[in-house]
């Protein structure tokens, strides 16, 4: 039997335990009470790489050919016209990379490679929207297992598809189509058959260490791998690749500049219309 003093001590410990307090030293071994709390591992501030892309002096901005701007769904259907609900085609519709007021290039991919560690991220959704019969943005860079979601704000049944073998289905306002980007590579979103809608190039890579230059021609890559000499590349389907080596420490921000040279232009293929049969002849 416990005397009154012992019962009071035990009751006090029980009450303290139920209230999630630190505990009662008289109710547990001394070595447990003296056990030190684990020390968390040291945290390293993430590194950041910023920069801009410039055009090689003496070169003009490259452009896509007309046949590169429309999906040829049927062999005999090509060269569709813009619907009346959209503004007429413009000279710069086929020039996805533009010059900013500062003379830097917009809409160019910048991506890292040749590193051993990276901060992972969860899959995200990349929206591609048709406005005024034109796809925007002109370039999407994604990580494997991200999702590409296409939608239209044009009151016209457009037919956007991702990849040459995609399922063809018209898209009207209020609808969307999604495609899981399950493998790396370069492909595009185009419209065909009903009307053109411009072009969006899609680049899928294995990691999230990338960026696309914004309307000011600048880029910023967060969580850049640290303490490694890393290859940083600028690229677009209309340009040759440019590279620079970068090494940053934890918490450091480094600014770089790359220069891109356009690929040689390809000859344009004239759009041909099948000839009408000669009704004056038999057969």
The secondary structure of 241-266 as a DSSP string is: -EEEEE---TT-EEEEEEEE-BPPPP
| Helices (runs of H) and strands (runs of E) counted in the chain | 2, 15
Question: Given a cut of 70, is residue 76 above it in pLDDT?
Answer: no
Q: For residues 46-59, give the mean pLDDT.
A: 97
Percentage of the chain modeled with pLDDT above 90 = 66
194 band by pLDDT with thresholds 50, 70 and 90: confident
The pLDDT assigned to 127 comes to 98
User: Of 65, 58, 55, 59, whose CA–CA distance to 266 is shortest?
Assistant: 65
Q: Domain for residue 164, yes or no? A: yes
Q: Domain for residue 148, yes or no? A: yes
Q: Domain for residue 244, yes or no? A: yes
Answer yes or no: do 189 and 110 share one domain.
Answer: no
Strand 210-212 and strand 109-113: the pairing is: antiparallel
What tokens appear for 193 in the block?
């058959």
State the pTM of this model. 0.78
Strand 147-152: give its sheet, edge to edge. Answer: 134-136, 125-131, 147-152, 176-180
- Stretch among 114-123, 147-156, 157-166, 213-222 having the lowest mean pLDDT: 157-166
pLDDT tens for 1-36 read 444 444 444 334 433 333 433 444 444 444 554 455
Answer yes or no: do 143 and 260 share one domain.
Answer: no
Across the strands, what pairs with 258? Answer: 53
Contacts of 259 (CB under 8 A, 6+ apart): 53, 54, 55, 56, 242
Strand 199-205 and strand 139-143: the pairing is: parallel
Answer yes or no: do 130 and 92 share one domain.
Answer: yes
- Radius of gyration, CA atoms only, the chain: 30
Answer yes or no: do 220 and 186 share one domain.
Answer: no
Boundary residue ending a domain (207, 225, 248): 207
Q: For residues 241-248, give the mean pLDDT.
A: 98
163 band by pLDDT with thresholds 50, 70 and 90: confident
Q: Domain for residue 271, yes or no? A: no
Q: Domain for residue 2, yes or no? A: no
Answer yes or no: do 243 and 114 share one domain.
Answer: yes
CB 118 within 8 A of CB 143: no
CA distances to 36, 123, 272 from 112, in Å: 42, 18, 43
Sign of CA dihedral 163, 70, 143, 145: negative
Q: Domain for residue 143, yes or no? A: yes
Answer yes or no: do 53 and 164 share one domain.
Answer: no
Q: What's 80's domain CATH number? A: 2.60.40.420
The pLDDT assigned to 72 comes to 76
Strand 199-205: give its sheet, edge to edge. Answer: 139-143, 199-205, 185-191, 160-162
267 band by pLDDT with thresholds 50, 70 and 90: confident
Q: Which residue range is the domain that position 216 belongs to?
A: 47-62+103-120+208-264
Boundary residue ending a domain (207, 235, 250): 207
Q: How far is CA 16 from the centre of its chain?
A: 53
Answer yes or no: do 91 and 137 share one domain.
Answer: yes
Answer yes or no: do 108 and 163 share one domain.
Answer: no
Answer yes or no: do 176 and 217 share one domain.
Answer: no
Identify the helix (H) or strand (E) that includes residue 10.
helix 4-18
Answer yes or no: do 116 and 248 share one domain.
Answer: yes
Answer yes or no: do 109 and 180 share one domain.
Answer: no
Q: What's 242's domain CATH number? A: 2.60.40.4130
Q: Domain for residue 181, yes or no? A: yes
The pLDDT assigned to 26 comes to 44
The pLDDT assigned to 193 comes to 84
Answer yes or no: do 110 and 129 share one domain.
Answer: no
The pLDDT assigned to 45 comes to 78
Task: Provide the domain count of the chain.
Answer: 2
Q: For residues 48-71, give the mean pLDDT.
A: 96
Q: Domain for residue 177, yes or no? A: yes
Percentage of the chain modeled with pLDDT above 70 = 76
């Amino acid at each position: 039997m416990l005397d009154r003093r012992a019962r009071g001590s035990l009751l006090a410990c029980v009450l303290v335990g139920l209230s999630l307090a630190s505990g009662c030293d008289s109710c547990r071994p001394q070595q447990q009470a003296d056990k030190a709390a684990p020390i968390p591992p040291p945290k390293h501030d993430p590194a950041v790489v910023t920069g801009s892309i410039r055009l090689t002096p003496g070169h003009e901005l490259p452009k896509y050919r007309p046949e590169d701007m429309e999906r040829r769904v049927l062999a005999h259907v090509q060269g569709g016209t813009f619907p009346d609900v959209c503004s007429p085609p413009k000279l710069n519709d086929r020039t996805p990379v533009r010059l900013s007021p500062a003379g830097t290039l917009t809409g160019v991919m910048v991506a890292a490679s040749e590193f051993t560690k990276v901060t992972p991220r969860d899959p995200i959704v990349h929206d591609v929207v048709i406005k005024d019969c034109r796809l925007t943005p002109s370039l999407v860079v994604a990580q494997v297992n991200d999702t590409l979601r296409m939608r239209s704000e044009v009151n016209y049944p457009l037919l956007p598809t991702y990849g040459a073998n995609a399922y063809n289905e018209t898209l009207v306002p209020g609808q969307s189509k999604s495609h899981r980007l399950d493998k790396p590579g370069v492909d595009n979103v185009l419209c065909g058959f009903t009307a053109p809608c411009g072009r969006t190039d899609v680049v899928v890579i294995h990691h999230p260490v990338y960026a696309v230059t914004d309307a000011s021609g600048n880029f910023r890559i967060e969580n850049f791998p640290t303490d490694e000499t890393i290859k940083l590349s600028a690229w677009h389907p209309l340009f040759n690749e440019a590279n620079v080596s970068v090494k940053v420490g934890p918490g450091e921000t480094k600014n770089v500049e790359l220069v891109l040279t356009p690929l040689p232009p390809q000859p344009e293929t004239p759009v041909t219309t099948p000839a009408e049969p000669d009704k004056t002849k038999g057969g």
